[in-house]
DNA sequence: ACCTGAACACCGTTCAAGT
DNA sequence: ACCTGAACACCGTTCAAGT
């Protein structure tokens, strides 16, 4: 049962980087609550106490988790443009940068919430912001408007939240109970009832079927269009 | 030292509601990590194990924390309009609703991150969404556009994140080191350096002085204007 | 009916001891 | 130099026992 790791694996010395990568794997598999000094150690074939050689403690390990994921975000953007040509629409380029960030974060569903608990992201996101700045400046943004855009887009890309709106619609729901639920809702909350009713009329016919990706892109386009309007009109704020 | 609570206080029977309110107070005072079955019990003059009579466990207590704060958000909105007059600009009304929500959440700095860890907000936010729906429908929004707006504004109001952008500027920083830091930044990251430089030129002269409130309002106005443009042009998406 | 005390499993952390 | 084992404080949770 106690399968000893191969000699090679056993001998590979621990390092801060290996610890953090192992912790990310544990979080991906068991959520952030599953990340324990002992569990991360076990996934490395080592006692949990051995980790203290390479990270100061649990808190720094969690910070490291955030940094590791955000480095992944930054790395995933390196094959995207860092500027636009004169007269070129900057929005598709910034859009791609934003969607790429989202792709990475969706692979680590625990990450946005953990990022939110940390006060800051440290410096690891700077290259990503530098890239975004490059795109915006080359498109003719003013200093102030770039600053505002960094806040508006940065919080959207790195701190996006999913499904706050959902009112616990059970994954598998009987159509009859769904209709009944809409009826109840409509009785006391006519406006929400109207929205939900319009959703049930769509192709799928299912309730609570919000397309997170589509909603993210809608909100993103609203922001991109709004920033472009302000750039074109020369408004600093 | 062991000050016994007054007889009256002692006799007031525990209830789910009192437990949750006590837990919110503990979180406000010591952060969400300070919320412990034992610490919440102590703040009520009771052993931690007594809480299990009123909440199923720690997880339900945290869910209750989120619900309590979100009920506060909903309650804080009741003196705001639920619709607009024909031809009235809906944006200032929706804006007030959003800013009111933010005000409440800023009093519980731990709340957004905790909300993010919970999959859903349960049904407690429905009245708030109902109110927002009422405003949007009365302003002539289509069903689809209201749906999109609920996502765009809801995630912004309830899941907003602060200061993801900041690169750990120490609270108290010597101006000389600040200038040096900008120089280093500018060397490898000219675009970010330009933004930071433009910030240091403002009235305060301090570095890293991002005005979260102003940035929130800027991003909010971008979204509100974008939604209005889509409403006016009759675009469903 | 409601709370307490003791107990157990698990976690973060320290540190002397191993190799 | 790097890891292990034992130990300690603290936490979530259960449950028999108190009042």
Using alpha carbons, select from A221, A209, A157 the residue that is nearest to residue A178: A209
B residues 14-33 closer than 8 Å to A (CB): none
Q: Is B126 on the interface with A (CB under 8 A)?
A: yes
Reading the block at residue B218, the tokens are: 């800027």
Contact A189, B130 (CB under 8 A): yes
Contact B154, A195 (CB under 8 A): no
- Which residue pairs, CB below 8 angstroms and at least 24 apart, start in B56-64? B61/B19, B61/B20, B61/B23, B61/B35, B61/B37, B62/B32, B62/B35, B62/B114, B62/B117, B62/B118, B63/B118, B63/B122, B64/B16, B64/B19, B64/B20, B64/B23
Candidates A185, A195, A233: best to mutate against B (most CBs of B within 10 A) is: A195
Contact B118, B63 (CB under 8 A): yes
Residue B3 has pLDDT above 50, yes or no: no
Rounded to 10 deg, the angle between the A143-158 and B212-232 helix axes is 80
Contact B73, B102 (CB under 8 A): no
CA distance linking residue B64 with residue B20, whole number of Å: 6
Only one residue has tokens 């206080």, namely B9
At residue B2 the predicted structure's pLDDT band, cuts being 50, 70 and 90, is very low
Residue A120: CA atoms inside 13 Å, Cβ hemisphere, count?
12
Percent of chain B with pLDDT over 90: 70
Please state, as a whole number, how many other Cβ atoms lie within 10 Å of the Cβ of residue A236. Answer: 10
Q: Do B222 and A218 touch (CB under 8 A)?
A: no
Q: Is A203 on the interface with B (CB under 8 A)?
A: no
What is the predicted pLDDT for the residue at A81? 98
CA distance linking residue B138 with residue B231, whole number of Å: 12
What is the predicted pLDDT for the residue at A173? 59
Candidates A57, A90, A108, A116: best to mutate against B (most CBs of B within 10 A) is: A116
The spacing between the Cα labelled CA in B48 and the C1' in C3, in angstroms, equals 10
What is the predicted pLDDT for the residue at B184? 79
Using alpha carbons, select from A112, A115, A114, A124 the residue that is nearest to residue A34: A114
More confident residue, A11 or B187: B187
How close A150 comes to chain B (CA, Å)? 7
Report how far apart, in Å, the C-alpha atoms of B84 and of each of A80, A89, A149, B97, B104 are: 44, 36, 30, 13, 23
Q: What is the mean pLDDT of residues B189-216?
A: 79
Using alpha carbons, select from A94, A113, A90 the residue that is nearest to residue A35: A113
For each of chain A's 237 residues, which pLDDT tens digit applies? 333 333 334 457 899 999 999 999 999 999 999 999 999 999 999 999 999 999 999 999 999 999 999 999 999 999 999 999 999 999 999 999 999 999 999 999 999 999 999 877 878 999 999 999 999 999 999 999 999 999 999 989 987 776 555 554 554 556 677 677 777 777 899 999 999 888 876 555 445 578 999 999 999 999 999 999 999 998 655
Any strand C atom closer than 7 Å to A58 CB: yes
The 3-state secondary structure of B159-221, one letter per residue? CCCCCCCCCCCCCCCCHHHHHHHHHHHHHHCHHHHHHHHHHHCCCCCCCCCCCHHHHHHHHHH
Any strand D atom closer than 7 Å to B31 CB: no
Global model pTM greater than 0.75: yes
pLDDT in tens, B141-159: 999 999 999 999 998 998 7
What is the predicted pLDDT for the residue at B4? 39
What is the predicted pLDDT for the residue at A181? 72
What is the predicted pLDDT for the residue at A174? 63
pLDDT in tens, B98-152: 999 999 999 999 999 999 998 778 789 999 999 999 999 999 999 999 999 999 9
- Reading phi first (left if > 0) and then psi (alpha if -120 to 50, else beta), residue B183 is in alpha
How close B44 comes to chain A (CA, Å)? 27
């Amino acid at each position: 049962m106690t399968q000893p790791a191969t000699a090679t694996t056993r001998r590979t010395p621990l390092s801060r980087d290996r610890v953090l990568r192992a912790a990310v794997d544990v979080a991906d598999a068991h959520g952030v609550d599953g990340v324990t000094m002992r569990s991360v150690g076990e996934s490395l074939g080592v006692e949990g106490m051995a980790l203290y050689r390479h990270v100061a403690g649990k808190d720094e390990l969690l910070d490291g988790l955030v940094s590791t994921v955000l480095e992944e975000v930054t790395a995933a953007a390196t094959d995207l443009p860092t500027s636009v040509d004169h007269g070129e629409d900057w929005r598709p380029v910034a859009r791609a940068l934003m969607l790429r960030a989202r792709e990475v974060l969706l692979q680590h569903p625990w990450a946005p919430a953990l990022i939110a608990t940390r006060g800051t992201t440290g410096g690891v996101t700077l290259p990503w912001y530098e890239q975004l700045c490059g795109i915006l400046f080359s498109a003719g943004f003013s200093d102030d408007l770039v600053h505002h855009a960094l806040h508006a887009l940065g919080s959207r890309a790195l701190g996006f939240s999913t499904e706050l709106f959902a009112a616990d619609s059970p994954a598998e729901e009987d159509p009859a109970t769904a209709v009944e639920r809409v009826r109840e809702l409509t009785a006391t909350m006519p406006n929400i009832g109207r929205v939900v009713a319009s959703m049930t009329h769509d192709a799928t016919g299912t309730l609570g079927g919000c397309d997170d990706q589509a909603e993210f892109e809608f909100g993103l386009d609203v922001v991109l269009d709004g920033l472009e309007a302000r750039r074109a009109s020369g408004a600093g704020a």
